[in-house]
Structure 1
Amino acid sequence: MRIHGLSARASLVIHRVEYLSGGIHLDPGATDRALRRYREFLRPSGSRPLYPREAFCGCPGCSFDDVRYARDVLEDILRRLPERTRAELDRLVRPLDAELLRRTLPDPFAHRRQWRTEYWWYRRLADRSEWG
């Protein structure tokens, strides 16, 4: 199955890495689901702030309800890919990251949170429903 926006070669490499990873995030098809979820969250375009929301269930399928989990999956696969495929996927992810950064607000209390993360997408205001 070809991943929308990627070459057939890159899609094949990604599917192989997903299959062989054994990681919790990277079951076969995870990268495609993560990209679709990321794009869905940012649609429709506009200037209205967006607020990622926590997934109500921790199972792998429901975890994608939280766009930040989708971004985690993309980060995980990017780290595992060979350079050429990583660059191709990164060309899709980078504009989505810029849009997420533009359309979400910084969390002024992120530094006080009990848990801290190296990932910037967890330092944005969240927890409000995406749909109102």
Structure 2
Amino acid sequence: MEKLSGDYYVYPGATDRALRRYRSFLEPPGRKPRYPQNSQCCCRGCSFDDVRHARDVLADVLQQLPARARGELRRHVARLDDTYRARTLPDPFADRRPWRSDRWWRRRLAAGRDSG
């Protein structure tokens, strides 16, 4: 699927990279909130500095996968999503932001660097 995707950010190995990035953001122990960071640039490599981009890639991959593989990945991502919701805070001003994302993970408070 990755090879056949026409999406610039979905390339061979992108799903693995996105899962690893999502997991690594959520791994630090503790209960302190985590704040996603913005990436320094939007190239294929640097864009994964922003965990929200990794989650975007996973969403795009989920739309393109066949049913069986989609179900398996969806279950795995859902567990990570639960942790992400628990470890990040909602952005109370998300509706006022100029980007107004429809993706819930982009409607969480962010910082300049991944931090907790």
* Residues paired across the two proteins, number: 116
Partner in structure 1 of residue 95 of structure 2:
111
CA distance in 1, matches of 2:112, 2:85: 17
CA distance in 1, matches of 2:59, 2:18: 10
Task: Give the TM-score of the pair, scaled to structure 2.
Answer: 0.95
**Equivalent position SS for 1:70:** helix
| Deviation of 1:42 (Å) | 0.4
Return the index of the structure with the highest Cα Rg. 1
| Gaps in structure 1 of 5+ consecutive residues | 1-16
CA RMSD of aligned residues (A): 1.1
CA-to-partner distance for each residue in 1:20-73, whole Å, 9 max, x for gaps?
Answer: 012111011000000000000001232110000000111110000000000000
Misfit runs of 4+, over 4 Å: none
| Gaps in structure 2 of 5+ consecutive residues | none
Task: Give the TM-score of the pair, scaled to structure 1.
Answer: 0.84
The structure 2 residue matched to 1:60, chosen from 25, 40, 44, is 44
Identity, % of aligned pairs? 59
Partner in structure 2 of residue 90 of structure 1:
74
Larger helix percent:
1
CA distance in 2, matches of 1:40, 1:101: 15
